[in-house]
Amino acid sequence: RKGGFAMTYSTLASIVKYPFSSCLAENQLKFGFFTSEEDSFRCVADELGLLKLSGQPLKYARHPLVYLVEAADDICYQMMDIEDAHKLKILTTGETKELLLSYFDDERRKRIDRTFTIVSDVNEQIAYLRSSVIGLLIKECTAVFLANEKQILSGAFEGSLITQMSARIAMAYKKCTQVSMEKIYCSREVLDVELAGFRVLSTLVNLMVDAVTSPEKVYSQLLINRVSEQYDIKAVSLYERIQATLDYISGMTDVFALDLYRKINGNSLPAV
């Protein structure tokens, strides 16, 4: 698209975690590209020499960079969730320190204790531990990638880099995941946000899809005209209009989505 990011083929391939078409998703919840994007991804795959799998013309092995992007995503979300839970007092300081310190051997823990004699603020201590764990996990995943480079390049590697980490680090990561599921994601604060988010997003999706499905209606035009020109909301085919609608909504920040929801429902009006 004119005015777009103009990404390289490698960058485009690195963000396709599930390199197969939506028509091949079957029982899987995720896929890499829509039917309308098949020709574009085929071009990317051909240029990069991505391996085809299972005799399917639109099912490929992952680009090697996908494993690194996936690991970075897993690491950051896991660690930031733990730190945020501490800030929200879902986890105590003791619980948080115990989780993060479990990644390190005795020698590294001694060095951390010495650092804590200088850094006395509790939140700064947790931030230091979080950044230290992220650094450790990056090194660990890098080592796993290099150790399995041939399998990754041949398309034979299964699973993720995170699942292949050494025993102590893997156990610590698993414990963080368990605590996140049992205490963080089920906390009242998180559930309240999810409930509100479900209402906001479902309302916006339903209204906007109705608008592009029946654009001849006056109310539909009001909604459509509010969408930025960068989204092809007035495309010829309904398929493309719905795609543009979902692109528009999925690109919203929380604040923007909530503000639009309030205005559509008449709960917030511009100052007159």
Residue 272 located in a structural domain: no
Domain stop point among 142, 166, 186: 186
Percent residues over pLDDT 90 in the chain: 79
The answer to whether the CB of 126 falls within 8 A of the CB of 93 is: yes
Q: What is the CATH number of the domain that holds 154?
A: 1.10.3410.10
At which of 186, 205, 232 does a domain end? 186
57 & 138 share domain: no
Q: Do 207 and 97 lie in a common domain? A: no
Residue 271 covered by a domain: no
Asked if 175 and 110 sit in the same domain, the reply is yes
Q: Are residues 83 and 179 in the same domain?
A: yes
Record the pTM: 0.84
- Residue 175 maps to a domain: yes
In angstroms, the Cα distances linking 225 to 120, 217, 231, 263 are 54, 12, 11, 15
The boundaries of the domain holding residue 8 are: 1-61
Give the three-state DSSP class for 59: strand
Helix/strand/coil percent split, the chain, to 5 = 65, 0, 35
Answer whether residue 270 is part of any domain.
Answer: no
**The pair of three-digit structure tokens given for residue 141, joined into one six-digit string:** 């995943």
Do residues 166 and 196 share a domain?
no
- Predicted confidence (pLDDT) per residue in 187-213, tens digit: 998 899 999 999 999 999 999 999 999
Q: Which 8-state DSSP code applies to residue 184?
A: I
Q: What are phi and psi of 41, to 5 degrees?
A: -70, -35
User: Domain check: are 198 and 151 in the same one?
Assistant: no
Q: Could you give the number of structural domains in the chain? A: 3
**Residue 272, pLDDT above cutoff 70:** no
- What is the amino acid identity at position 156? A
Residues 177 and 202 in one domain: no
**134-181 pLDDT per residue, tens:** 999 999 999 999 999 999 999 899 899 999 999 999 999 999 999 999
Quick one: 8 and 85 in the same domain? no
Domain end (from 143, 159, 186): 186
pLDDT of residue 224: 95
Do 27 and 136 lie in one domain? The reply is no
Same domain, 102 and 19: no
